Structure 1
Amino acid sequence: MSNIISFEDEKKLYRVYSEYLRNKFQTKVYKLPISLNITCPNRDGSKAYGGCIFCTAEGGSFENLSNKLSVKEQIEQNKINITKNHKATKFIAYFQNFSNTYMPLDKFKKNIINAIEEDVVGINISTRPDLIFDDYMKFLKDVKDEYNLEITVELGLQSSNDETLKILNRCHTTNDYIDACETLSKYGIRKAAHLILDLPWDSLDDVYNDAKLINMTKTDEVKLHSLYIMEGTKIAKMYKAGEFKLLNREDYVDRVEIFLTHIKDDIIIQRLVGRSDEEGTIHCNWGESWWRIKDSILEQMKRKSNYQGKYFKEDDFYG
């Protein structure tokens, strides 16, 4: 089945990540996921145990290679996998799972240096808002300047509601996110936020606050997720016990539309909806493919003559 919205129309509705990369690097750019043998402070007891209630033992993506492989081995194998089907020439090394600044500085430096290759144009580092340290960011700035790389730190914000963050066992606050963005800005590092827009404990007011927080902190990029529930997680036990009710598909579509129309029009959207491994999934995207959900969002926005930034106001402050 063909998409309802053409790519040309899609680009009129929001700032598409792939188009941003193509314009910047003059070719299509592919992310190379990297998995390290690390953890998070809400897993190892320094802040809590068990990790985020939605997180599996793998700590993130289900598509990564084994973390027993070195950084360079993962990069090379992922390049081979991608170039089987695509004429890929430029890549972003993406440190994806767990908290990739939660390690000694010398180990962090080694991982970043090992990701630098001639055809790698950028490095993305996924971590928590409370794990942004000056000496780590100073090193990233030096790497950015020396190798002419685009460096982006992807922060797991998830929600702007501190009470929801407690339920999720995130063990950080929105103030941590604000502080992290200030530090990243000081060193010229791009800021990306991960948000789950259909958390059962968040209201529409929280979605508006999400947008205000993203605007206020001058966040450069956003990656949106719908909530998914995997076997073996704390949230799976809560769901089976009837402790919360899932939002429906239409709620998610509406929330994404509200969020997009209230953020600045220059913020890059990495994606509108996530996906999970079919094996072990209890709930993801209401049993539909991710692109059907995406099409529904775009079709609704087009039908209502909405677009990213339509209702953005400079004086619409967070809090």
Structure 2
Amino acid sequence: MERYKTYSGHLKQIYGEKVYKLPVNLPVTCPNRMDGDGCSFCGGVGTGFEAMNCETSVSEQLLTTKEKIAKRYKAKKFIAYFQNYTNTFLPVKQLEEYMIEAARMEDIVGISISTRPDCITRDYLDCMKNVSDTYGVKISIEYGLQTVNYKTLEKINRGHSLAEYLDAVLMTAPYGFEICTHIILNLPGDDMRDVIETAKILSVLPVQIVKLHSLYVPKGSRLYKEFEEGKISMCSAEEYLERLVTFISYVRSDMVIERLFSRVPKEDASFSNWGISWWKLRDQFDAIMEERNLTQGCKADYQNGAALRRWRIC
């Protein structure tokens, strides 16, 4: 029994076979780093741990990574993942050139673009739609939100509030692109109420995919300094699993769950997943869901006039 909707299953349903993401590192930074150190959890290299040097051409990056993945997993279809930093912080025409270079490559069936919700306009969305229609590739956009708690967003120096995220999602939805949202379930200052509210807000929006992260502490980040000085503490692995189980229970049942835990090289972080491998944590999560007989969306009873149903008005 599938207790939550997995990303791998979602891709197989669309393309009829396994599809793998290939990270692409573009020569771009983040507006939140232009006048400071960026988000408190940013270690300076962004999130592209597995990506190649940004000076390497898009096609060369894709070819090199594709060969490794194809050989290991016998994969035949791939998604070019513009992963690191804020990819729409590039001029529209420059981003379009990179997208076309990826779209023209054999076996590339989609392009996934990671960005910030305060770095999107209709000019970028029009450009993406043109590339998608011209080259027959499916476009998805990943927005980093992390939490709906605006106070926490301010504390981690996110540089935007919930409003910018709502604006970005509502602007993007009419284009028909899949929208993915990144969420960190154990940010310092957030509690179970924030976990539930985050699940509920994502569920009532036109968002199709959520990528969940367990907070890690990259070396060189502001968070690293605060962690080493004892100014912040991490919740336990048991608490994170409770938050994860709760989130999955409240998020709507058709939402695709792309990830449950962060995956970061040990040498790049001072703290990551409580020293436990992500797949062992996943097994513990699966066991809890099984033991409690929980499924995704089993507590998602807050939409479509919940009070009317409760009082049997309709």
Q: TM-score range by the shorter chain?
A: over 0.9
Task: Give the drift of 1:244.
Answer: 1.4
Letter in 2 for 1:53: S
Is 1:59 aligned with 2:46?
A: yes
Residue 275 of structure 1 corresponds to which residue in structure 2? 263
The amino acid of 1:188's aligned partner reads: G
CA contact (8 A) 1:52 1:168 kept: yes
Aligned to 1:173: 161
Distance 1:150 1:295 in 2: 32
1:185 to 173, 190, 214: 173
C-alpha displacement at 1:147, in angstroms? 2.6
Structure 1 residue 257 corresponds to structure 2 residue 245:
yes
Partner of 1:203: 191
1:40 corresponds, among 10, 13, 30, to 30
The Cα shift of 1:146 comes to: 2.6
Partner of 1:80: 67
Q: RMSD of the TM alignment (CA)?
A: 1.2
TM-score, normalisation: structure 1: 0.93
The whole-number CA distance in structure 2 between the counterparts of 1:124 and 1:261 is: 27
Structure 2 CA distance, aligned partners of 1:160 and 1:300?
A: 26
What is the CA distance between 1:182 and its match in structure 2? 0.6
- Taking structure 2 as the reference length, the TM-score comes to 0.94
Q: Secondary structure at the match of 1:251?
A: helix
Cα offset, 1:18, TM superposition: 0.4
Contact 2:96 2:131 in 1 (8 A): no
In structure 1, the partner of 2:56 is 69
Aligned-partner Cα distance in 2 for 1:25–1:38: 31
Matched, 1:102 2:83: no
- Per-residue deviation, 1:298: 1.1
Residue 89 of structure 2 aligns to a residue in which SS? coil
Which structure has more helix as a fraction of its residues?
2
For 2:178 and 2:14, locate their aligned partners in 1 and report how far apart those are by CA, in whole Å.
14
Tell me which residue corresponds to 2:293. Answer: 305
* C-alpha deviation, 1:148, in angstroms: 2.6
Q: Shift of residue 315 of structure 1?
A: 4.2
Aligned partners of 1:42 and 1:50 also within 8 Å: yes
295-304 or 272-281, larger mean C-alpha shift: 272-281
**Cα distance in 2 for residues equivalent to 1:258 and 1:86:** 33
Report which stretch shifted further, 93-102 or 62-71.
62-71
2-structure distance, mates of 1:240, 1:42? 23
Say whether the 8 Å CA contact 1:212–1:316 is kept in structure 2.
no
Question: How far off is 1:316 after superposition?
Answer: 8.0
**How much does 1:309 deviate?**
0.7
Matched-pair contact (CA < 8 Å) for 2:170–2:206: no
Alpha-carbon displacement from aligned partner over 1:189-237 (angstroms, at most 9, x marks no partner): 1110000001121011111110111012221100000010122110010
**Equivalent-residue separation in structure 2 for 1:139 and 1:235 (angstroms):** 36
Q: What is the letter of the counterpart of residue 22 of structure 1?
A: K
1:110-162 C-alpha deviation (Å, 9 max, x unpaired): 11111112311111000001111101101111222233322110011111111
Q: Report the AA paired with residue 37 of structure 1.
A: P
Range with greater deviation from structure 2 (124-133 or 137-146): 137-146
The whole-number CA distance in structure 2 between the counterparts of 1:165 and 1:233 is: 16
Aligned to 1:245: 233
Greater than 6 Å deviation, 4+ residue runs: none
Q: Provide the C-alpha distance between the structure 2 equivalents of 1:311 and 1:192, rounded to a whole number of angstroms.
A: 21
> % of aligned pairs identical?
39
Q: 1:121 aligns with which of 109, 114, 119?
A: 109
Pairwise CA distance, 1:175: 0.9
Matched, 1:295 2:283: yes
Between the aligned partners of 2:135 and 2:246, the Cα distance in structure 1 is 39
* Post-superposition offset of 1:243: 1.2
Whether the 8 Å CA contact 1:222–1:270 is kept in 2: the answer is yes
Cα distance change, pair 316–77 in 1 and its aligned pair in 2 (3 A): farther
Query: Which consecutive residues of structure 2, in runs of 5 or more, have no partner in the other structure?
Result: 307-314
Q: CA deviation at 1:280?
A: 3.3
Q: 1:61 to 1:84 in 2, by over 3 A?
A: same
Q: Measure, in 2, the Cα distance between the counterparts of 1:188 and 1:144.
A: 11
- Mapped partners of 1:201, 1:316: distance in 2: 31
